[in-house]
Structure formats: structure tokens, C-alpha cells
Amino acid sequence: MISWINGRLVDLWQTNQKFFALIDCQGLGYEIQILEPFFLKLKTNQISNKNITLWIKHIKKEDSDLLFGFTSKEQKNFFIEILSIRGVGSQIGMGILNKLSISEIINAINTQNKKLICSVPGVGQKMSDRLILELKSKFKSEIEFEEKKVKDEFDIKNPAINKMIEDIQLTLQSLNYKNKEINLILPIIIKELDVLAIKENNLSFENLLKLAIDYLDNDSSNLAR
């Protein structure tokens, strides 16, 4: 089993939507499928005959051995988690990581942004539903961290808005909205705030509360899933 590789970059090429690097490691040439952003970085910077290190996921099939290379252990582990979902193969997994960063995927799961996930080639509505459902349970701690990070940013930069968000949370609870729905909607509301409007004090508690209620009423059936 190959876990990672360090060797000299010999060649780069693209076949349809697959991107490859040929790595010379102690006289052996390893053909490795890599992610498009890293491929473009190597191609643009014309990095050849330089040593690079990749974290490897080795998939052994009856008629072939496939190597998938990633620049970080986190990417590799995320790829492995994606492959554990029924109906998701290696090319779908690479396609997701080609188009979206890990933080973007986690945010899409958190906000149930099916449109963004469906923008990945080969991912339809049913698969996006499955990805959101299963990845949400797999990356619960990461999703909670992303929510906290968003709130923390506003704690530092906009303490007045942070207080307003807390008041909105309490008001929504008093209006009998479920905590699960509220916790999902608050990061969305925060990210949709117009920074210029915040600085100019054009946003009021009433406007933000109305925005939150409108969002909850329109999407509560999806958020509750």
C-alpha cells in the first residue's frame, strides 16, 4: 500500500477531465491522477525536474492499480470519506475536489446548497441529496467549527451585529422555531450581510429578523431534513 510519495516531477498531461503527473521515485515512474488546481499550478509555474510530495490513495482493481495524489492529508482523507458513500466513484470524488475546496464543501453541506454541489460534473439531484445527508454526519464537528468560525469573525469585527444576531436567535426561539433550524439559518444570515450596510448602520434588528423569518419560512422543510 502506497501512502505518500516524494519524487521528481517528470511529466504532466490531461486526458479529458483527468489530470496526471508522472513522478520518478528511485528509478520507478508512478502515474498519478492529481487535482486540477494543483495540475494548473504545476503547469503554470513550469515546475519540472523538481521534487514534489503527494499523499496517495491507492485503489486496486482487477485489471489496474490507480493512484490518486493530494497535496495534503486532509484532502486525501476527505476523498476517502467521499468514496465511502454509495454510488460515488473515484472520478466523482476527484470532480468534487477539483471544483470545491474542503471548506466550500462543508459550507455547502451546512447550508444545504444543492445547486453548488450539482454544479460538479456527474452529480445530479439525487446524488447531491445523498452527499449532503451522509457527509453531514461524517463531518459534524467540522460543520460546527465552520459555524463557530463565522460567528467568531463577527464577534471581533462587528460586536454590535453579533449582539443583534444573539437577540434574533432568542426572538426566533420565542416564536417557536426549532433550535436546529435556527442554528442552520444564522450562519447563512451572517454571510449574507452587506458589510457596507453594517458599517453605515443601515441594518436594523427588525430588518435582520424579517430576513431570518423569511428564510426560515421559505426553506424550513429543507432545513428540517
Residue 221, pLDDT above cutoff 50? no
CA distances from 149 to 17, 78, 103, 145, 156 (A): 34, 20, 11, 6, 11
Residue 166, pLDDT above cutoff 80? no
pLDDT number for residue 202: 56
Task: Using the structure block, give the residue that is written with the C-alpha cell 468560525.
Answer: 149
CA distance 145 to 22: 37
Q: How does pLDDT run across 62-98, given as a tens digit for each residue? A: 788 899 999 988 899 989 988 988 888 999 999 999 9
Counting the structural domains of the chain, the total is 3
Q: Are 32 and 20 in contact (CB under 8 A)?
A: yes
* Of residues 97, 98, 4, 110, the one with CA closest to residue 51: 4
Give the lowest-confidence range in 10-14, 57-61, 149-153: 149-153
CA distance 173 to 179: 7
Final residue in a domain of this structure, among 70, 85, 108: 70
pLDDT number for residue 46: 66
- List all residues 6 or more positions away from 43 whose beta carbon is below 8 Å from its beta carbon: 12
53 and 92 in a single domain? The answer is no
Q: 121-125, 138-142, 189-193 — which one is most confidently predicted on average?
A: 121-125
Using 50, 70 and 90 to split pLDDT, how confident is the model at 192?
A: low
35 and 96 in a single domain? The answer is no
CATH, residue 40:
2.40.50.140
145 and 203 in a single domain? The answer is yes
pLDDT number for residue 203: 65
CA distance 209 to 215: 10
CATH, residue 123:
1.10.150.20
50 and 81 in a single domain? The answer is no
66 and 106 in a single domain? The answer is no
Final residue in a domain of this structure, among 70, 96, 121: 70
DSSP 139-151: THHHHHHHHHHHH
CA distance 19 to 33: 6
Question: Which residues face 22 on adjacent strands?
Answer: 11, 31
162 and 187 in a single domain? The answer is yes
Using 50, 70 and 90 to split pLDDT, how confident is the model at 224?
A: very low
Residue 218, pLDDT above cutoff 80? no
9 and 78 in a single domain? The answer is no
The parent domain of residue 183 ranges over 141-223
Nine cell digits for residue 99: 471544483
Considering the chain, what is the average pLDDT of its residues?
Answer: 79
CA distance 44 to 103: 25
Mapping DSSP to helix (H, G, I), strand (E, B) and coil, where does residue 8 land? strand
Residue 41, pLDDT above cutoff 90? no
Residue 167 or 197, more confident = 167
Nine cell digits for residue 93: 470524488
118 and 80 in a single domain? The answer is yes
Using 50, 70 and 90 to split pLDDT, how confident is the model at 159?
A: low
148 and 114 in a single domain? The answer is no
Final residue in a domain of this structure, among 46, 70, 94: 70
Q: 7-11, 40-44, 106-110, 137-141 — which one is most confidently predicted on average?
A: 7-11
pLDDT number for residue 122: 87
Residue 154, pLDDT above cutoff 60? no
24 and 39 in a single domain? The answer is yes
**b/e map of 103-133 (b: 16 or more CB within 10 Å)?**
eebbbbbbbbbbebbbebeebeeebbebbbe
